[in-house]
Amino acid sequence: MLSKQDPEVEVAALRERIRDLETVLGFHDDNLAVAFKLPSSLHKLLALLMSVPSVTPEMIHQRLEIATDAKVAVHRLRTALKEWNVEIHSKRTLGYWIDPKEKARIRGIVDELSRDRSSEEKPTADIVTLVPAQNRERVA
């Protein structure tokens, strides 16, 4: 028998799944790499871990082609994320995963750093070339 869930919980779960699918399809933004200062290969691995419930070593080899050994790739990612205390779980028969609460925390870090970076950017003024009145005919 199927259990009925609270509609708000179901909608939240579906929205998270949509985000995950968009990431798999390549609709993710590069703020993840920028926020955590990751090289391309580790950014791809983190994006994959964020987008699916669990990642097998075969997925790392076939989809990402970033390391000959998945253990090495995950170790490098764990090392790169040590500063933020991001926990990547693993189990021999299941693969690698990040808990949903941890994924939400990662998204929060990315959002916060993105906001900070965008508030630091100052709009640039348009460059206006002033031409003396006597030279305007030559320029035009």
* Cα 44 from Cα 10, distance rounded (Å): 28
Q: Is residue 100 included in any domain, yes or no?
A: yes
Question: Looking at residue 24, which CATH number applies to its domain?
Answer: 1.10.10
> What pLDDT score does 29 carry?
59
Q: Is residue 49 included in any domain, yes or no?
A: yes
Q: Is residue 1 included in any domain, yes or no?
A: no
Count of domains for the chain: 1
Ranges of residues in the chain whose predicted pLDDT is under 50: 1-2, 27, 125-131
> What pLDDT score does 86 carry?
94
> What pLDDT score does 126 carry?
47
pLDDT digits (tens, 9 = 90+) for 44-83: 899 889 888 999 998 888 877 776 688 999 999 999 999 9
> What pLDDT score does 24 carry?
60
Q: Is residue 33 included in any domain, yes or no?
A: yes
Domain ranges, residue 39: 7-139
